[in-house]
Amino acid sequence: MEKAELIEKIKGGLIVSCQALEQEPMYSDKGGVMPLFAKAAYQAGAVGIRANTVRDIQEIKAVVDLPIIGIIKKDYPDSPQYITATMAEIDALAKCQCDIVAFDCTNRVRADHRTLEAFIHDIKEKYPNMVLMADIATYEEGKRAYELGVDFVGTTLCGYTQESKDAPVPDYTLISKLSALGIPVIGEGHVDTPDKAVKVLKAGALCVVVGSAITRPYEIAKQFVEELKRKENL
């Protein structure tokens, strides 16, 4: 799918992040769970899905006809980066033909110990038609990634890095500043209410990604339990 067509499909809409790591209750080594979340999101009117691992992406593609932001999360020693951190993950995502490939573009030490410039150059040389999304935490990271040739900038990691740990989340100012540069911004991270999603769009984001508030029942239930416990102590 061409970038212009993608923009039209996702503009102003909700992308639902359908992910579960191995230690989480909704994870199944047999698969089959994330496609159910994706189908529910599709029926609710979502305009796209963000998914982790080749298996989940392929299973989701089989049940919904929506643009997919694909990632592969993998921990590496000596690096805090884990979202599509090396060319091995890029190659795997290229084979499953997701519409957008997202990867960590923060200033932290890279898993492959190369520069971001070299990494993006290699991706574009090998996959010239691949649509790229930079997962960033700060204004400088977003601006730099776009200048290096990514197609979309996502605020995915704002609040999760040392440089951004004190930032307000969601960071509407960050979204506004990046959007003012003409960058297609995908608002993501800490968007846990419909009101916040609306504010993300009003700040200038092209669209908004919501994950935990929709597809992580453990986190949702935990919020209720903790709030009720606080009320008991009043």
Higher-pLDDT residue of 227, 231: 227
**Total structural domains in the chain?**
1
Give residue 231's pLDDT: 81
With a pLDDT cut of 90, the percent of the chain lying above it is 97
Give bridge partners of residue 216 from the DSSP assignment.
none
pLDDT tier, 232 (very low <50, low <70, confident <90, very high otherwise)? confident
Residues 6 or more apart whose CB falls under 8 angstroms from that of 6 comprise 67, 99, 100, 131
Higher-pLDDT residue of 2, 158: 158
Global confidence as pTM: 0.97
pLDDT of 30 > 70? The answer is yes
Name which of 81, 79, 87, 38 is nearest 211 in CA terms: 38
Residue ranges making up the domain that contains 67: 3-232
pLDDT per residue as tens digits for the range 78-119: 999 999 999 999 999 999 999 999 999 999 999 999 999 999
Residues 6 or more apart whose CB falls under 8 angstroms from that of 62 comprise 35
CB of 201 closer than 8 Å to CB of 12: yes
Q: Which whole number is the average pLDDT over 195-213?
A: 99
Q: What is the CATH number of the domain that holds 98?
A: 3.20.20.70
Q: Which whole number is the average pLDDT over 209-231?
A: 96
pLDDT of 40 > 70? The answer is yes
